[in-house]
Amino acid sequence: MAFIAPQAESFLLTGFGDTACLFIHGFTASPSEVYPLACLIHDMIGCTVSGPLLPGHGTNPFDLNRTKWQDWFARVDEEIDYLLKKHSRVFTAGLSMGGLLSLHAACKRSELRGAIAINTPIFTNSPWLTTLAPVMQYIKPYYPKKIDETYDELLKQGRFAYPVMPVKAYISMGKLRKAVMQEIAALNMPVLIFQSSRDEAVDRRSADFIKGNAIRAKVRLIELKESGHIATMSPDNVVIADEITGFINNLSG
């Protein structure tokens, strides 16, 4: 078994009552990027918050390239089962790819009370990567990320993420995206969407697509004005926490 970086470990914040929220991290990252927001939510309403490490993450990029989106969702599905054994009201929440998995779970698991999606990559700001990835996986299987001040600052705050994009796994994430786009019209539970106005990775049209196509769901869309893609580690954290706790409380009666 591959070594898991200490800062990338799963977390479970045990609360009281019947409410739990499953928080799902993004592609190439780890629960460390959603932990600050999870702590706020746990402190505000005392619900249980779980943050599982997805397969292929938290170790090395080679491991991620050996997994597919079905492996990531299987871990989410497993955690939903675990939480439902102890809680009657379970919500899913996710950042970036975690948002895709949160929405997919909401389409597949009618026992859930609601879904939350933050900066979900229906459309990205790098469409060329999606186009070239099928060829690139054989030529450059690990595409380097842009390492800038934002990346370094998140690293200092404790976020663990790979410095490269494993291309084969990225292609699989694209298949997850297509699955969500096809099934979202059938989604039939409340959804809370966040989109950062300064998101460097995700095109704003993503949030509009979700809201416009989830025709059977009650959808609320919140624009985040002070954050980039990793909004869960940003000045907007309190805004996000307030909205999520309100969303959960309104649906927990």
Report d(CA 161, CA 7) in Å as an integer. Answer: 10
User: Could you tell me which of 99, 95, 39, 232 has the C-alpha nearest to residue 154?
Assistant: 232
The reported pLDDT for the residue numbered 128 is: 82
Whether the Cβ atoms of residue 117 and residue 222 lie closer than 8 Å to each other: no
What is the CA angle 138-142-148, rounded to 5? Answer: 145
Residue 106, domain extent: 6-250
Q: What is the pLDDT of residues 89-120, one digit of tens each?
A: 999 999 999 999 999 999 999 999 999 999 99
The reported pLDDT for the residue numbered 119 is: 98
Mean pLDDT value of segment 128-150: 89
Q: What is the pLDDT of residues 3-29, one digit of tens each?
A: 899 999 999 999 989 999 999 999 999
Burial label for 46, CB within 10 Å (0-12, 13-18, 19+), is middle
The reported pLDDT for the residue numbered 162 is: 97
User: Could you write out the DSSP letters of every residue in 194-222?
Assistant: EEETT-SSB-THHHHHHHHH-TTS-EEEE
The reported pLDDT for the residue numbered 229 is: 96
Domain count of the fold of the chain: 1
User: Could you tell me which of 111, 160, 166 has the C-alpha nearest to residue 10?
Assistant: 160
Kind and range of the H or E run holding 144 = strand 142-144
Mean pLDDT value of segment 201-218: 96
Q: What is the pLDDT of residues 146-203, one digit of tens each?
A: 888 888 999 999 999 999 999 999 999 999 999 999 999 999 999 999 999 999 999 9
Supply the pTM of this predicted model.
0.97
The reported pLDDT for the residue numbered 221 is: 98
Residues in CB range of 82: below 8 A, 6 or more apart: 50
Three-state DSSP class for 73? helix
What would the two tokens of residue 176 be? 């997850």
Residue 199 lies in a domain: yes
C-alpha distances in Å from residue 175, one per residue of 100, 139, 168, 237: 11, 21, 11, 30
Residue 1 lies in a domain: no
Residue 70 lies in a domain: yes
Residue 252 reports pLDDT greater than 80: no
Residue 65 lies in a domain: yes
Residue 79 lies in a domain: yes
Query: Residue 162: which CATH number?
Result: 3.40.50.1820
Residue 187 lies in a domain: yes
The reported pLDDT for the residue numbered 253 is: 63
Residue 1 reports pLDDT greater than 70: no
Residue 19 lies in a domain: yes
Residue 2 reports pLDDT greater than 90: no
Residue 63 reports pLDDT greater than 80: yes
The reported pLDDT for the residue numbered 126 is: 87
> pLDDT class for 243, splitting at 50, 70, 90?
very high
